[in-house]
Structure 1
Amino acid sequence: MSIESKAREDICRIAKSMFDRGLTRGSSGNISVRLPDGNLLMTPTGSSFGFLDPARISLLAPDMTHLGGDKPTKETPLHSAFYETRSGTGAVVHLHSSHSTALSMLPEIDPDDVLPPLTPYAVMMLGKVKLLPVFLPGDPEMGEAVRGLAGKRTAVLLANHGPVVAGKDIWAASFAMEELEETAKLALMTRGMDPRILTAEQVKALQDKYPS
């Protein structure tokens, strides 16, 4: 099996797992993977994570020219911004997962660091997650907002929309995305309960050992 064929299969396999576990629904969410030649595979617009066809995954050139497969997701500018600003990015995952989206709506969250340091793995896998403003779906300004972070964040949360996570490959990006969603769930479950969080010293030790 070629590298591209395996990447197509991995996209469909991971997407189906996320759909089956309720992390995304309907035709929401999108995934992209960068191939060794620089081309990108991207889930098509209007497609459901539960019913993707490997042969119909969109193929794009590094400049986002459509080379084959179905028309790509309208969130292409969002994906391209991560590839352009983070050289080690091999995949990007964007979901409309419920807990992360709910967290984005709360007035008290810190827009520079939306996740409270509840567990070591959230700090290790995500670093600080930036809250970005509300944009219309597909708005190129989403990509400009990500570029404005100059590659310093591996994950962002789009207000009233959902999380976006970049990783070295599709597995790393997917695992980090699930950690983000679970941490958001914990934050909502413990809201108003004054939970014990990691200390500033513990967070710094994790960030020094596992830079994002």
Structure 2
Amino acid sequence: MSNYLVNHLNWSAVSSAGYRLWNAYYYNYGTPMGYNPDAPLPEHLGAWGTALLYQYTSEGRLDGYNGNLDLDVFYGDPGDWDAYTRVDGRPAPEPEPEPTPKPEPVITYTVRRGDTLSGIASRYHTTVAALAQFNGISNPNRIYAGQVIRIPAGSEGPAQPVYYVVKWGDTLSGIAVRFGTTYQRLMQLNGIQNPNRIYAGQRLRIR
């Protein structure tokens, strides 16, 4: 309650009924300040004579928060605090703990001969940098068959198979470069024994 209302209305009945005073009086209005347990109470506090809680500024400053805060001094004891934080005579309910987030399932991929990190990244719609960081890979050009690669959460599952129809003049290595993979991987996917023997019209699986 503002200091003006405290002193300009008759609160005797309220005070006599045992209700304590929360007083708001800004003794240094317009000046930002920190917490001050010795903030000076006003001399005149109407029917109460003293306050249980005193708000001395609305321009308070505390570390960790960028903005104005109402700062108060509490003059009561633990029993007073308990009495004024109860609802209908019952203790205020404890805040419900935040639910523990469930860990997202981890997708893994086992490297096959001919795989590249860029090819795996493309397959799972992520990036080489993300895979390298997530798996502690210092050299993205050095992975080996049998290595288990963890895929970052949020990445999509394997893409639908992609195919390419060979045109006259194509080479397997040229197709591999075009699609960000290797000719060894294309050989593996398509059961090709000789990388120099492909033909126009041949349908190759890219990934």
TM-score range normalised by the length of the shorter chain: under 0.3
The structure with higher relative contact order (CA 8 Å, sep 6+) is 1
TM-score, reference length from structure 2? 0.23
Q: Which has the higher helix share?
A: 1
- Computing the radius of gyration over CA atoms, which structure comes out larger, 1 or 2? 2
